[in-house]
Amino acid sequence: MTNRSMTDGSTTKRSTRAPATGRRSPRALLTALLGCVLPLVSALLLAVAPPASAATLTEVTSFGSNPSNLRMHLYVPDSAGARPAVLVAVHYCTGSGPAFYSGTEFASLADRYGFIVVYPSATRSGNCFDVSSPQALKRDGGSDPVGIRSMVSYVQQRYGSDPGRVYVTGASSGAMMTNVLLGNYPDVFKAGAAFMGVPHSCFATTDGSGWNSACANGTVDRTPQQWGDLVRAAYPGYSGARPRMQVWHGTEDATLRYPNFNEEIDQWTDVLGVSRTPASTDSPQSGWTRTRYGNSGAQAPVEAISVQGVGHTLPTAGMASRAIAFFGLDSTTPTDPDPGTDPTPGSCRVGYAVSAWNTGLTATITLTNTGSTPLTGWSLAFTLPAGQTITSGWGANYSPGSGAVTATGLAYNSTVAPGATVQIGFQATHSGNTGKPAAFTVGGSACSTG
C-alpha cells in the first residue's frame, strides 16, 4: 500500500573553454568582473533578506507509553503560536513519518496556518500500522494506537497545544489507523480525514495476521448499526461528543477496494447519529463527487469524496488542503466546528488538594456542577506538572499517566446533577515538583477553581 512519486531530470553540459588566444575575450572579462561583484552583492542580500525558516522535522525518542516501539517525528512551524492545534499524519505501508512529511502537503499547510504535525512511523515488518489485533481495536488496549496517543500527550505537555483541536489524517494503512484512532479515542480527536481506508474493526483478525483479505477486497458488508457498534465497543460506556469524519476513495482502487468507501460512510453516519441520505451532493473538482451528511456545511459531521477513475494513489495535490479546511484549520483563528455540545462556560468548579512525601503524592479532586443542566459523560482535562506520573487512581479512568491527562467518570458517577459534587483522585510519583495543574476543563470549557 504505497504512495510514491518519481521525477526524471536531465543535464546538458555546455563548453566553457576559452578561445585559443592570448587576449581575454569580452566574456572572460565579464566573468572576472562578476567574480568580484557577486560576492559583494550576495553579502548585501544576506544582510537585508529575512532569515530562512528554522522549522525542521525532528525525531522525539522518549514520549511516553509506546508498547509497539513506534518512532515519532515532529514538525513545529515557525508560525505556531500559543495553544496551537495538532495534526497527526499517518503514513502508508512501506512508508515512514519522514517520507509522509516530504511526500505530502501537510507541513507546508502547517507553515501557513500554524498547527503542529506529528508523524508516527510504524516499525513492524512492511511498516504497516496495527489495525487488526484485538489490542489495537480497543481504547488503551496496547499496540500502535497507545503510542500515537502518547505522542499527542507529549506535544500537549511540551508545547501547550490546544487539547480541543487535535486531528488525524492518513493514507492507506494510515487511513485505517485514522478510523481506529477516532473510535478508540473520541475524547482526544476532534475530526479525522481518511484517504483510501476501511472502517474501524474491518481489518480485525484473531490469528496474528495483519492482513484481512475479505476487508481489503471490499466483501465485508455490515449494516450501519453493526459498524457503529464496533466503534462504540472500542470505548465502552463513552457518551461524549464524537469526532467528525471525512473519507476519500478512488473508484479504481485495487488494494483497498472501493466498496470500503461506502462502508465507512455507513459506520460514521451511524456513530454520529445522522441520516445516511446526503444533505448535499456536488462536484468541487472534475471527477470528484462530494456528499455531506448531517448538514451541508463545510464542516458537516460526515463528508465523503469519491474520485472517479483513480486507484490507490491518494492524496494527490490539493487534497490535503481540503482536509485542513474540513478540520477548520485553514485559518489562524481557532474555530469550534461543533458548537453547542460543550458545557456552558463556567458550569464547573474544581477543588484540588495535594498531600506529598519524598517521591510520591496523593491528589484529591472535587468536581462540582455549577450549571443548570446535568454534566453527562463528563471528562475532566488537566496537565500535570513535569515529573509527575499517575500510578493509580479512583473515581475515574485516567489517561495517559502524565502530561495532558483526561479523567473520565465511571458508570456510577458519570452524570453530575446541577449543584452536585463528585470526588475523585489519584496517587502519583514525582521528581521534586509537587505543584498543581494550572487549569481544568470539562468538554473543552474552563472550570473555575477553588
Instruction: State pLDDT tens for residues 336-372.
Output: 444 433 334 458 999 999 988 888 899 999 999 998 8
CATH topology of domain 57-327: Rossmann fold (3.40.50)
pLDDT for position 15: 35
Q: How confident is the model at residue 54 (pLDDT cuts 50, 70, 90)?
A: low
- Asked if the model's pLDDT at residue 27 lies above 70, the reply is no
Closest CA to 175 of 206, 131, 205, 127: 131
Check: CB of residue 70 under 8 Å from CB of residue 148. yes
Q: What is the pLDDT of residue 334?
A: 46
Domain with CATH 2.60.40.290 in the chain: 348-449
Cell of 268: 460514521
Output the pLDDT for position 444: 66
pLDDT beyond 60 at 43 = no
Lowest mean pLDDT among 72-86, 292-306, 331-345: 331-345
244-262 burial by CB neighbour count: b if 16+ within 10 A, else e? Answer: bbbbbbbeebebbbbbbbb
Contact 370, 394 (CB under 8 A): no
CATH architecture of 348-449: Sandwich (2.60)
Q: Which of 329, 253, 328, 247 is nearest to 293 (CA)?
A: 247
Between CA 10 and CA 400 the distance in angstroms is 52
172 is catalytic: yes
Name the catalytic one among 172, 201, 399, 414: 172
Under the banding of pLDDT at 50, 70 and 90, the label for residue 10 is very low
Q: Name the residue among 270, 179, 177 with its Cα closest to residue 222.
A: 270
Distance (Å) of CA 196 to CA 230, 370, 444: 20, 45, 31
Grid cell in block for residue 385: 506538572
Numbered ranges of CATH 3.40.50.1820 in the chain:
57-327
CB burial readout 43-56, b (16+ within 10 A) else e? eeeeeeeeeeeeee
State the Cα–Cα distance between residues 165 and 86, nearest whole angstrom.
6
Average of pLDDT values for 5-34?
Answer: 38
pLDDT at residue number 112: 94
The model's pTM is 0.65
User: Residue 429 pairs with which residues in a beta bridge?
Assistant: 360, 389
